[in-house]
Structure 1
Amino acid sequence: MTGILVLAGTPIGDVRDAPPRLAEELAGADVVAAEDTRRLRRLTQALGVAPAGRVVSYFEGNESARTPELVEELAGGARVLLVTDAGMPSVSDPGYRLVAAAVERGVRVTAVPGPSAVLTALALSGLPVDRFCFEGFLPRKAGERLTRLRDVAEERRTLVYFESPHRVDDTLAAMAEVFGADRRGGGCRELTKTYEEVKRGGLGELAAWAGEGVRGEITVVVEGAPDRGPDEIGAEELVRRVRTREEAGERRKEAIAAVAAQAGVPKRDVFDAVVAAKNAGARGPEGDSKGSA
Structure 2
Amino acid sequence: MQASERINGVLYLVATPIGNLGDISFRAVEILKTVDLIAAEDTRHSRPLLDRYGIERPLFALHEHNEQQASDRLMDRLKNGQRVALISDAGTPLINDPGFPLVSRARAAGIIVTPVPGACALVAALSASGLSTARFAFEGFAPRTGAARRRRFESLVADERTLVFYEASHRIRDCIADVATVFPGDRRVVVARELTKLHESFLGAPAADMPALMDQAPENSKGEFVVVIEGAKPEPTQTGPSVEAVRVLKLLLEECSVKSATGLAARITGARREDLYRVALELQRAGRDGS
TM-score normalised according to structure 1 size: 0.75
2:197 aligns to what?
193
SS of the aligned residue for 1:206 comes to helix
The correspondence for 1:126, drawn from 127, 130, 140, is: 130
Give the Cα separation in 2 of the matches to 1:209 and 1:60.
35
The correspondence for 1:95, drawn from 89, 92, 99, is: 99
Q: Over aligned residue pairs, what C-alpha RMSD do you find?
A: 1.5
1:114-193 equivalent positions in 2, closer than 5 A? 114-193=118-197
SS of the aligned residue for 2:97 comes to coil
**Residue 221 in 1 paired to residue 228 in 2?**
yes
1:45 aligns to what?
51
SS of the aligned residue for 2:22 comes to helix
Q: What is the CA deviation profile of residues 80-105 of structure 1, one whole-angstrom value per residue up to 9, with x for unaligned ones?
A: 10000111000001111111111111
The correspondence for 1:26, drawn from 28, 32, 56, is: 32
Give the Cα separation in 1 of the matches to 2:229 and 2:35.
39
Give the Cα separation in 2 of the matches to 1:41 and 1:219.
25
SS of the aligned residue for 1:140 comes to coil
How far residue 207 of structure 1 moved from its aligned partner, in angstroms, is 2.2
Q: What is the CA deviation profile of residues 2-27 of structure 1, one whole-angstrom value per residue up to 9, with x for unaligned ones?
A: 11100000001111111111221221
Q: What is the CA deviation profile of residues 130-182 of structure 1, one whole-angstrom value per residue up to 9, with x for unaligned ones?
A: 11111111111222211211111100011111001110111111111111232
**Gapped runs of 5+ residues in structure 2?**
1-6, 239-291
One-letter amino acid of the counterpart of residue 227, structure 1: P
2:247 aligns to what?
none
Give the Cα separation in 1 of the matches to 2:158 and 2:70.
40
1:245 aligns to what?
none
SS of the aligned residue for 2:13 comes to strand
Give the Cα separation in 2 of the matches to 1:223 and 1:126.
10
Give the Cα separation in 2 of the matches to 1:44 and 1:194.
21
1:4 aligns to what?
10
One-letter amino acid of the counterpart of residue 224, structure 1: G
Larger radius of gyration: 2
1:83 aligns to what?
87
**Gapped runs of 5+ residues in structure 1?**
232-293
Contact 1:176 1:182 in 2 (8 A): no
Contact 1:153 1:179 in 2 (8 A): yes
Give the Cα separation in 2 of the matches to 1:132 and 1:92.
16
Give the Cα separation in 2 of the matches to 1:151 and 1:100.
29
Give the Cα separation in 2 of the matches to 1:65 and 1:177.
43
Q: What is the CA deviation profile of residues 184-237 of structure 1, one whole-angstrom value per residue up to 9, with x for unaligned ones?
A: 010000111111100111123222233454211000110001222498xxxxxx
SS of the aligned residue for 1:17 comes to coil
One-letter amino acid of the counterpart of residue 229, structure 2: V
1:262-277 equivalent positions in 2, closer than 5 A? none
Q: What count of residue pairs does the alignment treat as equivalent?
A: 229
SS of the aligned residue for 2:69 comes to helix
Give the Cα separation in 2 of the matches to 1:179 and 1:228.
16
Contact 1:186 1:220 in 2 (8 A): yes
One-letter amino acid of the counterpart of residue 148, structure 1: R
Give the Cα separation in 2 of the matches to 1:65 and 1:145.
32
Which segment drifts farther, 194-203 or 140-149? 140-149
1:63 aligns to what?
67
